[in-house]
Chain A
Amino acid sequence: MKKLRGRVWKYGDDVNTDVLFPGRYTYTVRDPKEMARHALEDLDPDFAANVRPGDIIVGGKNFGCGSSREQAAFALKYAGITAVIAKSFARLYFRNAVNAGLVAVAEPAVWDAVQTGDVVEIDVQAGVISTPKGDFGFPALDANAMGIIEAGGLIEYVKKQIAEAKNG
């Protein structure tokens, strides 16, 4: 997997699924472009209008706590986000991020080293995050998770498996 390089959007602890993608949209808004417009709407109304493809979110502890709604991950992906680095993740959000094809890295030290607007680089293969204030190592992602991320998400991953089984 190639290196990811992007601008940082930095947020605090307990960024929950209601602010990532509000509950009032969860059963009716399905268009990716429209989902992207509501990403982080209740926490940072400037995010959706100013996010650029390749940008990276840096969050505090318990990132993505709350609902099982995977739009909380997909909305970020559709907004152009490629990776989320957090001090720690809520369990469901970590799964949903991987299933959306986002790189999700739990590395507590990065938060203090970056500000919104900084450019960081993630080398997933080597397990290194480079920031203006230095490099930080992180443990390799689980092979299963890497396979899903590289395929572009769980649906793409399983679709390929099913197609291969049919042809195989």
Chain B
Amino acid sequence: MGMTLAQKVFSRVAGRAVDVGQIVTVRPDRAMSHDNTAAIAKKFATLGVEHVKYPDMHVIVLDHAVPAPNVDHAINHKEIREFVAAQGIRHFFDAGTGICHQVMVEKGLVGPGMLAVGSDSHSTSYGSVGALGVAIGRSEMAVIMATGEMWFRVPESMKVVLSGRFGTMVSAKDLALYMLGRIRADGATYMAVEFHGDAVARLSIADRFTIANMSAEMGAKAGVFPQDGVTDAFIARSGTAAFDARPDPDARYAITHAFDLSQVQPMVARPHTVDNVAPAAEVRGVKVNQALLGTCTNGRLQDLAAAAAILKGKRIHPRVRMLVVPASRKVLMDAMDAGYIRDLVEAGAMVLNPGCGPCLGAHEGILAPGERVISSSNRNFKGRMGSTQAEIFLGSPQTVAASALAGEIIDPREVA
């Protein structure tokens, strides 16, 4: 019997062939933590071990509330910098470098076939480059720091077969939301989702990133694009190490879904669950006060380009505060060079420091009671971006830009 990608990755790190359902205690290739590293370090300190076992395994990125919005966050960051220095952790990226998941991929710290754990639910994003990105909790990260190992259950896998081509103004985010409407927010719980089909070759790393990122919203343990030519071209540029990241043709999947990209319309997730989706055209007319473009879900160059193309030479609606959060400093600089930042700012947008920004409600654009946001981020839970009486609608960069222009949610094809 052939192996799924998840089985192959766990077999390699376990040093033996493993079956689905087996519990394995293994050493991950990478372990990512962010602003939560101070809390992790405090748990680590109670374990009775002085030194982090494998300092080079760890990647620490400050991104969740940067630059520090208050004294508590500033202390938190200071403690992390001191921990990093004391433990000799080389892969440390301070405020302004970018969002942790983007930094992992962009800096070539995660590659095909790796087992990369992160103390952040959207660690599934590493599947964009063929890695098994698995989210863990803070206690687990503290234990990995001490022992270098963690237990995992080898997951069942879901096969998602993608065919067809996107229509005008339709992109990876719309597909992710469309899939969420079908698979639901718990449809992939405990499973590794593998993406297959002829359409995959036409999806860029940025597209794959958005989809792998949103796999977390289906409850998935991981969401992975098997290694192909697109992956190889990317890792050649970023200089990333690679292991085997191709499932066997006769691998067994717990369930298979098929989606035709040509059938996908611009989609919106309505409050307060990610799978409460509808075509943007059906949500049309919902007035918005804020429009958020960017985040780890949709903050890469092609996302900013898509929004800039819609907003260039126009003015956003006076009711709308538009915020742009590039996923990294590199993305910000590339977008400056390409003129996208100028287009967005001239249209009335505010550009924020690369980081998590207002996505998790820590700072930089908190919502008041009764306000609504159209956001290219990944979660629309009640209270997430501020008041519990605010409403979060999720959409693509195109839908966010078009809605910012209109002052209300619209199908971006209306402004095409």
Contacts and interface: CB of A to CB of B under 8 A. Distances in A.
Interface in A54-107: 61-62, 65-70, 73, 88-92, 95-96, 99-100
A91 B379 CA distance: 17
Contact of B23 (A22, A61, A142): A142
B43 interface: yes
B293 interface: no
A18 B384 contact: yes
B139 A70 contact: yes
A86 to B, nearest CB: 11
Contact of B362 (A27, A69, A70): A27
Interface in A1-40: 14, 16-19, 22-24, 26-28, 30
Contacts of B360: 23-24, 26, 67
B143 A92 contact: no
A140 interface: no
A135 interface: no
Contacts of A43: 382
B89 to A, nearest CB: 19
Interface in B183-222: 185-186, 189-190, 219, 221
Contacts of B221: 91
Count chain A CB atoms within 10 A of each CB in B76, B142, B151, B383 and give the residue with the most: B383
B47 A95 contact: no
Contact of B186 (A28, A62, A69, A144): A62
A142 B21 CA distance: 12
B121 interface: yes
Given A68-B137, A155-B139, A27 B35 contact: yes
B139 A61 contact: no
Interface string B258-288: 0000000000000001000000000000000
B47 A90 contact: no
A162 B379 contact: no
Query: Interface extent on A, as a size class?
Result: 35 or more
Nearest to B39: A30
Contacts of A95: 136-137, 140
Given A23-B360, A27-B36, A27-B76, A62 B189 contact: yes
A126 interface: no
Contacts of B189: 62, 88-91
Interface residues of B, number: 49
B374 interface: no
Nearest to B189: A91
Contacts of B76: 27-28
B72 interface: yes
Contacts of B388: 42
Given A26-B36, A155-B142, A144 B23 contact: yes
B135 interface: yes
A81 B151 CA distance: 25
A144 B47 CA distance: 19
B81 interface: no
Nearest to B137: A70
A157 to B, nearest CB: 9
Among A30, A92, A144, A162, residue most surrounded by chain B Cβ atoms (within 10 Å): A92
Given A23-B360, A155-B43, A155-B139, A66 B186 contact: no
A66 B119 CA distance: 13
A73 B140 CA distance: 13
B64 interface: yes
Given A24-B362, A91-B190, A144-B151, A154 B48 contact: no
A47 to B, nearest CB: 14
Nearest to B273: A14
A154 B143 contact: yes
A162 B51 CA distance: 13
A158 interface: yes
Q: Which residue, of B23, B48, B70, B190, has the highest number of chain A Cβ atoms within 10 A?
A: B48
A70 B43 CA distance: 12
Given A67-B121, A88-B186, A154-B140, 17 more contacts: A18-B384, A19-B382, A23-B360, A28-B72, A65-B219, A66-B121, A66-B381, A68-B123, A73-B137, A88-B189, A96-B137, A99-B139, A144-B23, A155-B47, A155-B143, A158-B143, A158-B147
